[in-house]
């Protein structure tokens, strides 16, 4: 927080009253001014958009393991292109990404901004998490530090570990029991997410629906209906086109997983 107003208020209070009490009153008024400006700066991204906090978080995730790779930079650049950012928004995104890379950067603050922007719209939460997952998985098996930021974001947006597992499964990654979840394949690398043993049929459909293989048919149908309602692109409203396409892709993955399970089990 910048305390310029506090300092100026204290100096003016001392100059006008020539006593310590005047300096304290002036400093208190200046502090209130500083706090108001800080609150306004933090509120603006949540009310006016998600670009700055989102790209700042992407920068923080990229730097979480100690270095920002070319793959992570390329993902950020592709995301800007896919979102069709204009010159001003692109500059905002670049500045935010670079800010997020700084060692002292506070990722919790921008996660809070994203939480305010998403509000109670879970259909907005999933596309935001999906964007961050791309950076988390940019170099393959993600570090614990990257996964910690991703799970912090998911928790803030009211997305459970099981739902996060399903989102990761759609990208061909599985939950490793070393991170408090369940392994759907692959080898452990000390916790976190690991790539599963792929097959020609794609990711595990049960992982995509966020259910266990021993779930009964009724539970499977219930999980499918809940997921497809939350990811259906028709509910996304004012989300940008890139995030709408992500929702359409996820909806297709969910439908495909459900069809595979139905064919496997023989129910309608």
- Residue 208 burial class via C-beta count within 10 angstroms: exposed 0-12, middle 13-18, buried 19 and up: buried
**119 shares its domain with 105:** yes
**178 shares its domain with 115:** no
**108 shares its domain with 145:** yes
Domain that holds residue 12: 4-43
**152 shares its domain with 164:** no
- Which of 159, 175, 206 delimits the end of a domain? 159
**187 shares its domain with 89:** no
In this prediction, residue 33 carries a pLDDT of 62
**264 shares its domain with 234:** yes
**119 shares its domain with 37:** no
For the chain, 268 residues long, give each residue's pLDDT as a single digit of tens: 556 666 776 677 677 777 777 667 666 776 676 565 554 444 333 334 789 999 999 999 999 999 899 999 999 998 888 888 888 889 999 999 999 999 889 999 999 999 998 888 777 888 889 889 989 988 888 889 999 999 999 999 998 888 888 788 777 676 543 444 433 333 333 344 444 444 445 678 887 787 888 888 888 888 888 877 776 666 655 556 666 676 777 777 788 888 888 888 887 7
In this prediction, residue 35 carries a pLDDT of 64
**85 shares its domain with 138:** yes
Full DSSP string of the chain: ---HHHHHHHHHHHHHH-SHHHHHHHHHHHHHHHHHHHHHHHHHHHHH-SHHHHHHHHHHHHHTTS---HHHHHHHHHHHHHTT--HHHHHHHHHHHHHHTSTT--HHHHHHHHHHHHTT-HHHHHHHHHHHHHHHTTTSSPPHHHHHHHHHHHHHTT--HHHHHHHHHHTT-EE-GGGTS---SS--SSSSEE-----TT-S-HHHHHT--TT--HHHHHHHHHHHHHHH-GGG-TT--HHHHHHHHHHHHHHHHHHHHHHHHHT--
In this prediction, residue 86 carries a pLDDT of 86
CATH code, domain with 174:
1.10.287.110
- Which of 105, 136, 159 delimits the end of a domain? 159
In this prediction, residue 27 carries a pLDDT of 64
**134 shares its domain with 87:** yes
């Amino acid at each position: 927080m910048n305390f310029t107003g506090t300092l100026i208020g204290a100096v003016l209070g001392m100059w006008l009253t020539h006593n310590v009490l005047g300096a304290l009153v002036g400093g208190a008024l200046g502090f209130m001014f500083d706090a108001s400006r800080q609150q306004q700066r933090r509120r603006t991204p949540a009310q006016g958009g998600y670009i700055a906090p989102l790209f700042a978080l992407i920068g923080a995730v990229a730097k979480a393991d100690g270095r920002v790779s070319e793959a992570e930079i390329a993902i950020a650049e592709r995301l800007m292109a896919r979102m069709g950012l204009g010159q001003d928004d692109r500059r905002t995104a670049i500045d935010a990404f670079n800010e997020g890379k700084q060692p002292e950067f506070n990722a919790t603050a921008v996660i809070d901004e994203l939480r305010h922007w998403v509000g109670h719209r879970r259909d907005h939460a999933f596309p935001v998490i999906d964007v961050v997952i791309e950076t988390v998985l940019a170099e393959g098996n993600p570090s614990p530090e990257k996964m910690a930021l991703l799970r912090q974001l998911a928790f803030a947006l009211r997305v459970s570990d099981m739902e996060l597992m399903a989102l990761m499964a759609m990208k061909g990654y599985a939950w490793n029991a070393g991170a408090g979840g369940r392994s759907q394949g692959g080898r452990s690398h000390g916790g976190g997410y690991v790539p599963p043993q792929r097959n020609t049929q794609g990711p595990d459909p049960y992982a995509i629906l966020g259910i266990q293989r021993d779930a009964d048919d009724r539970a499977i149908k219930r999980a499918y209906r809940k997921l497809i309602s939350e990811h259906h692109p028709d509910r996304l409203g004012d989300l940008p086109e890139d995030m709408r396409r992500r929702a359409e892709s996820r909806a297709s993955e969910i439908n495909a997983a459900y069809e595979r399970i139905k064919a496997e089990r023989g129910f309608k």
